[in-house]
Structure 1
Amino acid sequence: MSEKSLSEAEYDAITDAAAHWCMRLHADDCTAGERQAFADWHDAHPLHAFEYAAMLEIWDVADHLPRSEPAPAVLAFKPRRRLRAYAVAAAVCLAALPLAALTGWEAGWLPSSYEHFEATQGLRKITLGDGSQVELNLGTELVYSHYKDERRATLKKGEAFFKVAHDSHHPFIVRAGDGQVRVTGTQFNVWKYEDQVRVVLLEGSVQISSDAVHGSVPLTPGMQASYHTGDATPQIAAISPNDAALAWRQGKLVLDNLALADALPLINRYLNKPVMLADTTTGTIRIGGIYNINEVNNLVPSLPKVLPVYLTQNQDGNPVLNSIPRKAPKG
């Protein structure tokens, strides 16, 4: 395919192919041959990769739709530049996830808009479609969808500070891990790393749940909630006066005499290769200091200079911290 402008028919063919591969690669009976054919198609043209990435984003939205018996579908997206891609993606999701009585926007099951944001080179400030202001930490990925009855953001990874535009008729939902934060208008911070989530509330009130089964618990200003995947309820605690959870908004990572087991998740979110602990003893060693989030890579090789540890590497190429055994006193 040449680099000239594509015709509508050529563009449609790529969109259709992306939808097909999105469905096949999520199917249980997808073969190795199909996966190789997809890889060949994906790498054949930059637009192939672009369209497939768009399909995956819509697939993520569909993962939260109601599931029931198959039924005829009526797609009711509001007009957008990428309307056809969304419609095809929604049709793919229908084939993969049986839905009943789907009437698109009017049923509140499909969004009228969908936005994807990433902060890869530095901190980023964005405005969502509802007017809410969000600050993204380095290495953060966020998607936002506007539904008829609610506004929904999904923090896929990283950290975000929200100033939610008040709208009592359309609650603002932030999904992080298996849990969610439900608000109408407030200011709060959400951090997600692997299976850990921490929510810090500055203003207003929110309801926190750690999974889709158990009920939610309220959070008031000056409080924090934390949970891991599988937790029935979040752990609620007061924010300490010297809490540095929001220091990232000034580009800083503050480690206030933390055990390495607690400090590494805060450090690793800025690294391509997470640092591992050799054992639990190493995890009890404490670390402190203030660091620039853009220079955290330089922190890892310097740790043996300030802590009783040495660095090795595991078979996956991750740096591993090992404690230096203390010598027994003579005598």
Structure 2
Amino acid sequence: MKRRSAAASSEAAAIEATAAAWVAQRDGGFSPEEAQAFAAWCAADPRHAAAVARLEGAWQALQQLRDFRPAAQRHPDRDLLRPPAPARRAPVLRLRHVVPLALAASLTVLAFWWTGRPDASAAGEHYATTVDGYQRVTLADGSVVELNGSSEVVVQFTAATRHVELRRGEAHFTVARNPARPFLVQAGDIAVRAVGTAFNVRLGREDIEVLVTEGKVDVAPPALLAPAPASSPSPAPGASTPRYPVLTPTRLTANERAVVHALAAPHAAPPAPVVERLAPERVRAALAWQGPRLVFVDTPLAEVVTQFNRRNQLQLVVADPALATLPVGGSFRAENVEAFVRLLESDGDIVADRSAPGRILLRRP
């Protein structure tokens, strides 16, 4: 028994170490051959994919430690373009002096802490993005939350319920199946309950939109779906009528969207959710913000520009040779060239010249 246990432990450690090396290498950029080898390794054994998922959570923890900033920001975070040394300012979001082996070791060590950490405290775990931001978070239960720009969520897990509050913006949820522990997303005055499914929630100024991409969910006021967490504040005496009332649960299935409109007046009759089935192309359009992303870790600007140019008609040109080796790091939407250029410009060390049609010249001021 002891020999078998030791062998199993050794095998698990080897899988964890290999997964850490893959994750570190992936964030530095895969070649087509490496991407194919990584996919084959993940498919070869369910434990491989599970180890990668755990380490993605560890990677998110490293990102949070590195990227911690005050939550409320009206403009893109200028520190996304952070200098590599005090004497030089550079547009870089980076872990300094990171090499793949060191990063893999860090991920392996941090994974043991991350996978064994307790559920969120009463205050909840907070995640937010800037205007052009994007964040992918693997929660403690294995569920995945993807945040669009200008979005904010608070996660609070209890023994009975997995509760997420969408405070602003838009998020997509891929829920790990657990029938004994429902997954509840609250947005404004409505909630979405799921067990194991995938759906998108957008909290707008005048409406709330729920789009199911896999499985089924119920949409209703939070009180009809699950009790609010103990830390949730009670309504103040004389509180106003909810702006987005839903009197009975509405069941949605894959490719269905429900839109709950605000009340026309404080005492108006509550509107019923508008439910429609979307064609696949409309679903893809609604989720276009999740599109392919480019991830760089201390990558020279010239190489970053090459990656963007391969995917876009609008071409970037490094007009100043001194900028070619400038290290760049971060996660960027592959098709959003303008957002990337705005981040480069925001720190004042790079000027974008848009005078030529179809291209943007990058040079020093």
Category of TM-score, reference length = shorter chain: 0.3 to 0.5
Q: Which has the higher contact order (CA 8 A, sep 6+)?
A: 2
TM-score by length of 2: 0.38
TM-score by length of 1: 0.42
